[in-house]
Amino acid sequence: MTPEPAYPRPAYAWYCLGVICFAYLFGFMDRIIVGLLTPAIQADIGLSDSQMGFIQGLAFALFYTLFGLPLGWLADRGNRKWLLAAGTAVWSLMTAGAGLVRSFTGLFAMRAGVGVGEATLNPCATSLIGDYFPPKDRPKAFGIYTMATALGTGVTYLGGGLVIGFIGGPTGGNSFDMPGLGLIPAWQAVFIIIGLAGLVPALMIALTVREPARRDLAAAQQGNWAEAKAFIRQNRSTLLCHHFGVALIVLAVYGWVNWLPTLFVRVHGWTIKDFSIWYGIAGGTAGIVSAIASGYVANWFKARGHADGTMRTVLVGGIGLTLGTTIAPLLPSPELVILGYAVAGVFTNFPPAQALAAVAEITPNQLRGFVTSLYILVVGIAGAGFGPVVMGWVTDYVFEDRLKVHYSMALVTFVMGMIGSWLIARSLGPYRESLARVTWTKAD
């Protein structure tokens, strides 16, 4: 058997992870910035909560997942560095494009384009991280990778709030003189500025990141469709519980992340700028702690003999996150709501970070991008796609009162989060069986 090539130098591996995280930071900003801008968009072009839910979630998620499968398959066969660089450029340009349209259809189309570009991200990143880092370092590496979502949240809210306050006044509803375009609404200017800035990590990936040698190759496998079907069939219990469990937890997360700014405007009378600054600091800090801690928690479980430590970490995060973010929106003052979400935020990145690590642990390199894209398909549609839509729909048609958005957030979070956590608990046994079937070298 041909020995595997050496791993890249640790300093270079961590640098490449940093560049990928930089791209992910902009990707996550592009995902959630529409939630921050929702009040200004609604005030300007009069969209309903249900329509905004589609723009926040389903427009992105539908195309994110539809393109995820072929792009994940390509990530297993092609140059992942160039695929990720191209995807980063596409989603950044589509975000900027959202600043050039003024209708539900136009915003839906631009958000769909963001989804197509971001469909390259997780399949490429999961595969690359597996080839940059030895197994003992991967839980930490995936934790840091997911930390980009926390940084994205913090930068979006803190930076976005400052930008909105600067170019759009206290409500974010003023006009801004954009070079080449003249006076445009402030919310459109924010889309353009953030989208064009996202081209920087695209260039960094293209110019400074090298494609690593592939490793964790299962013997006598080519990564063809027959082998993919056989792998899925053999690990179906693990994959079903893992994918749908995380998807329901993520449904709740994407729901409240997108509607939280609106809650503060409607229920507590805050401006977007004030909410953004305070939540950007509190929520961003908690998310960073969560992402880093998730890798240590997974390794702590493993050091105590739990081979399923990554999945146990997903379960701990799912339960803690669900309970905390069910209570938080119902607290009586805006300061307590922010504190509640910050405390719950310590668990926010446990599920997404270690869910990706779990996929990498049980999947050979030849299939890793494709299996990751299957995970993204389920999580994208059921989670990121329907989270904002479901919460907007519950506000419109269950409570029938725009001032009861906090009740919608609490109800959807509790129901979906607890079902998701139950599925993750059910996955522990099948996951251990999947780990026992691993055939490639598990060297440090």
Tens digits of residue pLDDT in 145-203 = 888 877 877 777 776 666 666 655 544 456 777 788 888 888 888 899 889 999 999 99
Tens digits of residue pLDDT in 81-110 = 999 999 999 999 999 999 999 999 999 999
Q: For residue 180, count other CB atoms closer than 10 A to its CB.
A: 5
What was the pLDDT predicted at 81? 94
Question: Tokens representing 17?
Answer: 């992870």
Mean of the pLDDT values across residues 129-143?
A: 86
Q: Is the pLDDT of residue 45 over 80?
A: yes
Among 117-121, 216-220, 362-366, where is mean pLDDT lowest? 216-220
Q: Is the pLDDT of residue 352 over 90?
A: no
What was the pLDDT predicted at 444? 44
Number of continuous H segments (helices) and E segments (strands) in the chain: 20, 2
Q: pLDDT category, 3, cuts 50, 70, 90?
A: low
The DSSP result for 259-290, as a single string, is: HHHHHHHHTT---HHHHHHHHHHHHHHHHHHH
**Average pLDDT in the chain:** 85
Write the secondary structure of 34-76 as one string of H (helix), E (strand) and C (coil).
Answer: HHHHHHHHHHHHCCCHHHHHHHHHHHHHHHHHHCHHHHHHHHC
| Residue 175: strand pairing partners | 185
What was the pLDDT predicted at 392? 82
Mean of the pLDDT values across residues 329-346?
A: 93
Mean of the pLDDT values across residues 309-318?
A: 94
What was the pLDDT predicted at 310? 92
What was the pLDDT predicted at 128? 92
- Tell which wins on pLDDT, 57 or 119: 119
- Tell which wins on pLDDT, 301 or 397: 301
Work out the angle at residue 133's Cα, subtended by the Cα atoms of residues 127 and 139, and round it to the nearest 5 degrees. 85
What was the pLDDT predicted at 22? 94
| Residue 185: strand pairing partners | 175
What was the pLDDT predicted at 219? 52
Distance CA 31, CA 95 (A): 9
Classify domain 10-211+223-436 at the CATH class level: mainly alpha
| Residue 184: strand pairing partners | 176
Q: Is the pLDDT of residue 6 over 60?
A: yes
Domain coordinates in residue numbering, the chain: 10-211+223-436
Contact by Cβ (8 Å): 360, 432: no
Mean of the pLDDT values across residues 46-73?
A: 82
Tens digits of residue pLDDT in 268-294 = 998 877 888 888 888 878 888 888 888
| Nearest residue to 374 (alpha-carbon basis) of 233, 205, 221 | 233
Tens digits of residue pLDDT in 10-34 = 999 999 999 999 999 898 888 778 8
3-state DSSP call for residue 182? strand
Mean of the pLDDT values across residues 366-370?
A: 80
| Strand locations in 43-194 (E) | 175-178, 182-185
Tens digits of residue pLDDT in 388-424 = 778 888 988 888 888 898 999 999 999 999 999 999 9
Residue positions counted in the chain: 444
What was the pLDDT predicted at 163? 64
What was the pLDDT predicted at 172? 46
Q: pLDDT category, 122, cuts 50, 70, 90?
A: confident
